[in-house]
Amino acid sequence: MPMPFRRLPALASLRAFEAAARLSSFKDAAAELAVTPGAISQQVRALEDDLGVKLFTRAVRAVTLTEAGQSLQPAVSSAFLQLRDAVDQVRPKATQPLRVESSGPIIRKWLLPRLHRFAERYPELPVSFETVGHVTTFGKDGPDVVIRFTRAPGEGLFAVKLCEDFLVPLASPDLIAQLDLRCSADIVRAPLLHDSSAEVFGQNLNWSGWFSRAGLDTVGAQRGMRFERQAADHAIDAAVNGAGVVLARRFLARNEMLDGRLVIPFGPVLPMHVSYFVICQKGDETRPEIASFINWSREEAAVLEDGAGFGGAIT
């Protein structure tokens, strides 16, 4: 009949001792184990009381192993290393990251501020992101999922519409107060910020189109700073910092609108008739990791569908 194991000290105390002995510091051991230095000290003292020997000589800013500590440390460190290796052998290998591609503005302004909620829901699903400014090709070396702003997602693909977008005039509350912006006619007093990326989808999707829709003379609609190509997020940031009024995509400026950094001072807004889609190869939508990302994206975008944040500006 096998002999029973003799009682061992608490595993937490041995772990605290091993880290402190290896690093010669209670503070560094605490950082490695994500606890406080006081917790390390208590665990080590509990181990010393259990064994009936002192393991460390404590000084003001340093700890050193006693003779007993030096005798114990190699075996404990070796045991923890073997335990870690054994656990790694049976733990399922990490899955390959879900590869997500989109434009820089979509990643920076829409995805990144929300990713903590995805990570909280799917902590075991790693995701890698790549910024692209063109239509990508799925395949072995391509992405798993793409978020695209387009009128047509493409043939032979599985696509879920997230929402349609609008161009909305936005300015910081300070600029609105400073220039006393109350109605659309007051735009003549404000510096304009141009996001040229919207013009790809229509010649009227710019300040000239907005002036016309507001019933204003388009003379002067071209003044101000321009942000070309993939710089829609920079135009939004410039407006947050009071550089002018931006005609921005609501989808991209949603966070700034929600927290009050940007406000719609007046209407109208311009429908774009262009939508955001989350897209993958047809058939891949059944893969659990892709289905999870698609469903999460759809939930995050759903709050935009009711037009919230426009106030009375839709005309």
Q: Which of the four pLDDT bands, split at 50, 70 and 90, describes residue 311?
A: very low
Tens-place pLDDT, residues 58-79: 877 778 899 999 999 999 999 9
pLDDT tier, 32 (very low <50, low <70, confident <90, very high otherwise)? confident
- What pTM value is reported for the model? 0.66
Model confidence band, residue 305 (pLDDT cutoffs 50, 70, 90) = low
pLDDT tens track for 147-179: 999 988 888 899 999 999 999 999 999 999 999
Range with the poorest average pLDDT among 53-67, 140-154, 176-190, 300-314: 300-314
Find, among 278, 267, 269, the residue nearest to 302 by Cα: 278
Mean pLDDT of 288-303: 90
Smallest Cα–Cα separation from 14: which of 31, 28, 33, 27? 33
pLDDT confidence of residue 29: 87
% of the chain with per-residue pLDDT over 70: 90
CA-nearest of 170, 253, 180, 182 to 210 is 170
Averaged pLDDT score across all residues of the chain = 87
Question: What is the rounded distance in angstroms from the CA atom of residue 156 to the CA atom of residue 230?
Answer: 27
pLDDT of residue 101 exceeding 60: yes
| Mean pLDDT score, 37-45 | 91
Whether pLDDT at 304 is above 70 = no
pLDDT class of 189 with cuts at 50, 70, 90: very high
Domains belonging to the chain, first-starting first, are 11-90 (1.10.10.10), 97-315 (3.40.190.290)
Q: How far apart are CA 269 and CA 277, in angstroms?
A: 22
Using 50, 70 and 90 to split pLDDT, how confident is the model at 2? low
Question: Higher pLDDT residue, 84 or 4?
Answer: 84
Please, what is the Cα angle at 180 between 175 and 182, to 5 degrees? 110
Q: Are 15 and 80 in contact (CB under 8 A)?
A: yes
Question: Do 249 and 195 meet the contact criterion of CB atoms below 8 Å apart?
Answer: yes
Mean pLDDT calculated for residue range 216-224: 92
* Residue predicted with more confidence, 8 or 272: 272
Whether the predicted pLDDT of 284 surpasses 60 = yes
Q: Is the pLDDT of residue 13 over 50?
A: yes
Q: What angle do CA 42, 46, 49 make, to 5 degrees?
A: 135
List, as one string, the DSSP characters of the chain: -PPPPPPPPPHHHHHHHHHHHHHT-HHHHHHHHTS-HHHHHHHHHHHHHHHTS--EEE-SS-EEE-HHHHHHHHHHHHHHHHHHHHHHHHSPPPPPPEEEEE-HHIIIIIIGGGHHHHHHH-TT--EEEEE-SS----STTS-SEEEEEES---TTEEEEEEEEEEEEEEB-HHHHHHHT--SGGGGGGS-EEEEGGGGGG-TTSSHHHHHHHTT---TTTT-SEEE-SS-HHHHHHHHHTTS-EEEEETTTTHHHHHTTSSB--S---EEEEEEEEEEEETTGGGSHHHHHHHHHHHHHHHTTTT-TT-TT---
